[in-house]
Structure 1
Amino acid sequence: MQPEITFVVPAYNVAEYLPDCLESLLAVPVAKEIILIDDGSTDNTGEVAQHFFRLHDCITLIRQHNQGVSAARNRGIALARGRFVQFVDADDILRNQAHYPDWIEFATQQKIDIVKTLIQWVKHNGEHLTTQSPYHQFNGEGYVSHGHDYWHQMLLGNWFPSAVNGFYRTQLLQQHDGLRFPEGLSHSEDALFFADVMCSQPDIRVLEIKQVGYVYRHRVNSASHSLDSNMRGCVSTCEIVKLLWQRMEWAKQRAMQPENQAHWQRMHKHLISTIAVQVMVLYDRYYVYLNETQKASVRHYFTPELLALIQPFSKIDIIL
């Protein structure tokens, strides 16, 4: 029997948190598979993963040399057998699992490509920090929109193109070879993946759920918050901006052709805005914290063309 959903769980040195994560996935009351990828852990993550693998037939355990979260997720996409696929970081948990059967049934009947739930952020000890607000204002529990409208609302509101808060139609990801995470980059990879998904076809449909479905644990010693992450974050986000620029140029060319012209015009416009947002993120979050030598090594990314593109959108003064 085909699983209703595949959970892809990259795990690297998360032995302390992995049991809670896996228990939250196992509590989802639908036919499921869990692809657990031990990405070269050096702590007891492998032993914890092996323990759960032995106990539960729905878990597939893969071990690989450390290649990063994107490579692990891409491997999961290729192997996924579920109707839908969700990416879960191994130090986080799901919430409101009892609603998954209804969400999946509705998404299947209405030919939904992406289901997005709200994210709750908690501290290391589980103390609540904040909860994401919906991008659309709507009554009821869910709202269906076209992909370009959801993207537009994200750009107007709190830009957070996370890949984990919700699930994707597996066929959509598997039938488009380009719908993969950029390997070798450690920050901002979700932004490029989000843009690629939204550009993949003109009729993308998104279901936004007004319930928390994902709990993100804020860890100061995680990969995205380590002390040496500023330089890696800056370079990685700069490379993501370069790739988004390529997508923007491609969308501009497609917008000149009669086929799906309106779609590609919207995509071109949204990609410009996305580039502007990502540049502000990399400058405010990473660049300003670099020393002078580090700044000099990445300054070439801020080309005159890029600065001119983002100038109408910039809410901060970029001083190089």
Structure 2
Amino acid sequence: MLQKEKVSVVVPIYKVEKYIHRCVDSILNQTYPNIEVILVDDGSPDNCGIIADHYGKLDDRVKVLHKKNGGLSDARNHGMKHVTGEFTVFVDSDDWLENKMIENMVNSSYTYKADIVQSAFYYAYDQKLLIDNRHQKKNESFALLDNKTLMYELVINERVKNFAWGKLYKTEMIQDIQFEQGVLFEDVLWAHQVMKKVNRFVLLDKPMYNYFQREDSIVATYIPRNLDIIKGLKERHRFIEEFYEELIDESYKVILKTCLIHYNLLLINRGQDKGGMYRGEIQSYIQTNYIALKEAANGDKQLSNQLQLFMLHPYFNVFFLGLRKGLRKSRILSQPVGLERVKQYD
């Protein structure tokens, strides 16, 4: 039986020896004391397992689980088997929390009778914190969403994020929904299944989760497994077609944008796509679904233009993006609104 008002914090751990103390300390130092911290050592080859065991001896709120390496999804699923709290929070082991995060989220859940509470977050770099204010409504400290609004926000991925972390869940909402193993971007395959069950969702405007950004860029580290995001979006699209027909166009737009981005990334990293098989799959999908994608993009002039150029030849779209980037660099075109720096470290 789940313990009322208790919060279970599940932390998968793998090769994060450099960051694990910052992460776990931020959880144990929360102003909300009624927590259990489930550290899942996913067969980490460094000293993470030893460090986790040390925390288990220091604080009786810490449970340490050791298992063979199975990936992030497997570690989260394993941790969920040991959850005893009314609420569950996922934290990635290189991230960290502001000290009032859990207290504020629990209070919000009770106040608004919410199934899930999501905190805003910082993009945390080694020497700076950034925040995305582009979709924030002025003078709004929180938003209360019903199910239809929630699913719309999840699909467009602006205010409600597909990430599993940064949210407080009623444990009963997620106990029977496992993360798919063996894929990247597993959260995309998981989130919509959870959100379908939600009646009330609270979106907090204050950033309380620090999402650590490694310096490696996706361009430099790109591998074909990154295409799992497209597979996940297609699977979610089938779900949208069945349960949220009014969101089909929005879903198509997200798939199209993602396909165009990854086509260009594959082009840059041609060594990862010898023979162009993956680019061919993307091109085939866009050609096969052209009519539906065109209708979906109608209200988005830039996306519609990109689609038309891609249909003429994929390289035309690449040229268009390169030209636009050059015009912005020379300040002929204005820069898009980006992230705002809120803190600089020495």
Q: 1:133 to 1:150 in 2, by over 3 A?
A: farther
Question: How many residues are matched?
Answer: 296
**CA contact under 8 A between 2:9 and 2:89: conserved in structure 1?**
yes
Deviation at 1:156, TM superposition (A): 7.5
Greater shift, 275-284 or 105-114, is seen at 275-284
Determine whether 1:192 maps to 2:193.
Answer: no
Greater C-alpha radius of gyration: 2
User: What's the % identity of the aligned pairs?
Assistant: 22
Determine whether 1:230 maps to 2:223.
Answer: yes
* 1:104 aligned to which of 98, 103, 106: 106
Q: 1:268 to 1:169 in 2, by over 3 A?
A: farther
**CA contact under 8 A between 1:231 and 1:294: conserved in structure 2?**
no
Letter in 2 for 1:14: V
* 1:296 aligned to which of 252, 262, 277: 277
Map residues 1-320 of structure 1 onto 2, 5 A cutoff.
2=4, 4-30=6-32, 31-95=34-98, 97-98=99-100, 100-123=102-125, 125=126, 127-133=127-133, 135-137=135-137, 139-153=139-153, 155=156, 157=158, 160-174=161-175, 177=176, 179-186=177-184, 188-198=185-195, 200-201=196-197, 203-220=198-215, 228-234=221-227, 236-251=228-243, 264-266=244-246, 268=248, 270-285=250-265, 288-291=268-271, 292-293=273-274, 295-297=276-278, 299-300=280-281, 302-303=284-285, 304-311=287-294, 312-313=296-297, 314=303, 316-317=306-307, 318=310, 319=314
Q: 1:39 to 1:29 in 2, by over 3 A?
A: same
Q: 1:269 to 1:129 in 2, by over 3 A?
A: same
**CA contact under 8 A between 1:115 and 1:206: conserved in structure 2?**
yes
Distance 1:156 1:190 in 2: 12
Distance 1:247 1:280 in 2: 22
Deviation at 1:166, TM superposition (A): 2.0
Distance 2:214 2:188 in 1: 21
Aligned to 1:259: none
Distance 2:219 2:58 in 1: 33
Q: 1:181 to 1:100 in 2, by over 3 A?
A: same
- Structure 2: any 5+ residue segments left out of the alignment? 298-302, 316-346
- Structure 1: any 5+ residue segments left out of the alignment? 252-263
Normalising to structure 2: TM-score of the pair? 0.75
Deviation at 1:213, TM superposition (A): 1.1
Q: 1:150 to 1:245 in 2, by over 3 A?
A: closer
Distance 2:120 2:142 in 1: 11
1:78-136 deviation line (CA, Å, top 9, x unaligned):
332212211111011001x225324313312432111111111122x3x2241133745
**CA contact under 8 A between 1:151 and 1:270: conserved in structure 2?**
no
SS at match of 2:223: helix
Deviation at 1:225, TM superposition (A): 5.3
Q: 1:308 to 1:46 in 2, by over 3 A?
A: farther
Q: 4+ runs of 1 displaced by more than 6 Å?
A: none
Letter in 2 for 1:93: W
**CA contact under 8 A between 1:241 and 1:279: conserved in structure 2?**
no
SS at match of 2:148: helix
Q: 1:156 to 1:107 in 2, by over 3 A?
A: closer
Normalising to structure 1: TM-score of the pair? 0.80
Distance 1:73 1:14 in 2: 16
Q: 1:170 to 1:21 in 2, by over 3 A?
A: same
Distance 1:19 1:135 in 2: 33
